[in-house]
Amino acid sequence: MNASSVSPSIPRTLARLPGVRRLPWPGPLALIPAPVERAAAEVAVNRALAPQLADGDVDFLEGRSLRIRIPDIGCDWLVTKAGSRLTFRAGRDEAEATFAGDARSLLLLAARREDPDTLFFQRRLDIEGDTELGLQVKNLIDSIDFDDLPAPLIRALGFSAAFAEALPGADAA
């Protein structure tokens, strides 16, 4: 199963509803307190990367700091590896590397509908700071096997990506 196997009919229908113009809808997302948002992201990422964490593929983040910014939805996280887990805190300027992009682009990246190089060269993914750390993170993203992810996460990614692609003006992004 992969995130592309979701039928696009429902997301396309939702994208045509009156008032739906863009992703994300900041209203509901703005109601989630930042600590809850970070905790949810931490749980999801640790679960999704469990095989890579167990194999030591994420050890390069031990004692290092990666900032992930998604400005259009107000997410700003500092990710580090502590022991056998990734931890999320409020983003900080002193991170060694920063990944930043809009929600739609990062969602399409997570669902494997776009690759990091394409997003980077189209200036939809901004990677700053330690280039070696940034390359290691890009390689980690590329190494994720969809078969290792929980089925509900795969379906959610596929549905969300199909919705994002169906929004008016999505090809202009």
Closest CA to 69 of 6, 159, 129: 129
pLDDT tens, position by position, for the chain (173 residues)?
555 555 556 555 655 555 555 555 555 666 778 889 899 889 989 988 898 999 999 999 999 999 999 888 888 999 999 999 999 999 888 899 998 998 888 888 888 888 888 988 999 989 899 989 988 988 888 788 877 788 888 888 888 888 888 776 555 44
Q: Where are the domains of the chain?
A: 33-154
Instruction: Tell me the CATH architecture of domain 33-154.
Output: 2-Layer Sandwich (3.30)
| 16 contacts 170 by C-beta, under 8 angstroms | no
